[in-house]
Each structure stands twice: as structure tokens, then as C-alpha cells.
Amino acid sequence: MLAGFVDGRGRAYDIGFRTLRFSLVDEDGLLNTLPDESIAAQAMATVAMDLLEPRAMPFLIPTQAELLGTPRRIIIIAAKGLRRSKPFTFFRVALNLHPDAVRHFFVAQGGREYVVVEKADIVSSTRPRNRLEIEMRGPAPGKPSETARYRIRIEPGSVGEEALQALG
């Protein structure tokens, strides 16, 4: 599991705003697929994410997002043009950057949040009411060498199921 930010030109950053050496999307906002990867499911949904351990807390507040499913991964990218106010990110994390830089990244440059989930990350999935919940493991915020449990909630659940089924 990888969570972070993507700028308006598609460059990816991890949750601590460290630059990663790949582009998640192109300049038009379309997913840069990996070799031999194709999009099998794509739709808009409301997505939220909780950190479950070491103590339960909201990690991504409910956000309109594009959900893409491929045989290799599920990609969640916050929708373009969402209204933003301080602290400007929908992740519930402290960013060690000047507030004007954070505002510029999200407001002027069109930065967005993303989460990438691979099949090996998923522990379980359930379908309470009209949503899909996926429990998974990923790096602990601020401690990438440690593992933590997370839960992603996707509404409507049918959109989440399509992306999950794309993983095979």
C-alpha cells in the first residue's frame, strides 16, 4: 500500500511529501499504467480511510475520488477540482511544510491525494450496507519500516467491488 500526493504534472510524493521516482498520472490526469497493465474498472466513488493500529483514527476524510482497478492494483485518486480549505489536504497528517507551500501545491498546482493498493496488501473485505470495506496492511505513517493496519471505505460498494474483482 502506498499513500501520498500527486502534483498537477503527475509526479508522485509519499505521505511525508518525499519525491518518488515515478509519475502516477500524466499531465492530462490519466493513469500511467505499468507494462502489461490495463484498466479493468473505473468509476467515481466516495472514499475514506482509517488507520486501525496502533490506535484507530481517521486517515483520509471522506473524499470524492476516481477509483481504478487493474489486475495488479487498485488506484484511488482524489477528484480534480475539489474545494479545499486549510489544511488543504484530505489526509489527516501533519505536513512539515510552510502552509503557503501546501496551499499552492493543492490549490494552484492541482495536487491530489492518492492511495495504491496491491493484492498482497489486502487482509479482508466486507460489504456492510451500501459500501465496501477493505482491511489492509501498509507502512505506518512516519515510520515506513513498520507495518500498520488500515481500512478503506468505498461508497457505493458496487464500485469498490468492481475494482476489487479486477485484482482477480
Contact residues for 107 (Cβ-Cβ < 8 A; gap 6+) = 84, 88
Total tally of structural domains belonging to the chain: 1
- What's the CATH code of the domain at 142? 2.30.29
**Cβ neighbourhood burial of 167 (10 Å; 0-12, 13-18, 19+):** middle
Instruction: Check: pTM over 0.85? Answer yes or no.
Output: yes
- Supply the range of the domain harboring residue 154: 2-166
Write out pLDDT tens, residues 35-86: 889 999 999 999 999 999 878 899 999 999 999 999 999 999 999 888 888 8
Task: Compute the distance between CA of residue 104 and CA of residue 106 in angstroms, rounded to an integer.
Answer: 6
